[in-house]
Amino acid sequence: MTTLAAVEQQQDLGSLIETYLTSCRIEGKSDETVRSYRETLDIFLQAVRDEGLPQNPQSFTAAHVYQFLGHVANTGVSPITQWRRQRETRAFFSWLLRHDYIPANPFAKVKNIKVPQKIIHPFSQEDILRLLACCLWSANTPSESSTNCRDRNVSAGMAILPRSR
């Protein structure tokens, strides 16, 4: 028979995190993904202790989520890392909700952290010409390899593609 203390032990954040990470491995998440989740959830547990956040996930509210996110931001990490911490902790709380450990996901009411978009500019016409010149130069070397030939063909293909605007 299950005792009340045993049920409360299963509700402990640390135990639930271990169960969640085990489920991630069983469901086929990569070792790197599980490692990343563990890192984030360790930071989450530290924030729970440092910020006096609830130990019981059922007691978590959107205000506690913002307090956690503030804790993460105060460590000086980049916005993309803050976003990752939010996303990975939200995934944990979504799992808690799916498995009936909590009645609602407090992250559901919190907007995603905004991250700056990284714009990658296409090669300029001058860049393409320089690439072609390098490939043509390497084609005139004594050891014509399939790699040189491939590089030359890729560069030539880039040179004839229309530029995006």
DSSP 8-state assignment for residue 101: S
pLDDT bracket for residue 5 (50, 70, 90): very low
Residue 95 reports pLDDT greater than 80: yes
Query: Phi and psi (nearest 5°) for 85?
Result: -60, -40
pLDDT bracket for residue 165 (50, 70, 90): very low
Whole-number mean pLDDT of the chain? 83
Strand, coil or helix: what is 103?
coil
pLDDT tens-digit profile of 129-160? 777 777 666 555 555 555 566 666 666 666 55
pLDDT at position 59 is: 94
Counting residues of the chain whose pLDDT is more than 70, the rounded percentage is 75
Q: CB of 62 within 8 A of CB of 106? A: yes
Ranges of H-type helices in the chain? 4-11, 13-26, 31-51, 62-73, 79-98, 125-139, 146-160
CATH topology of domain 9-109: DNA polymerase; domain 1 (1.10.150)
How many Å apart are CA 162 and CA 158, to the nearest integer?
8
pLDDT tens-digit profile of 38-85? 999 999 999 999 999 999 999 999 999 999 999 999 999 999 999 999
In the chain, where the domains are located: 9-109, 125-160
Q: CB of 89 within 8 A of CB of 134? A: no
Residue 92 reports pLDDT greater than 60: yes
Q: CB of 76 within 8 A of CB of 124? A: no
Low-confidence winner among 76-85, 87-96, 121-130 (lowest mean pLDDT)? 121-130
Residue closest to 20 by CA, chosen among 40, 34, 5: 34
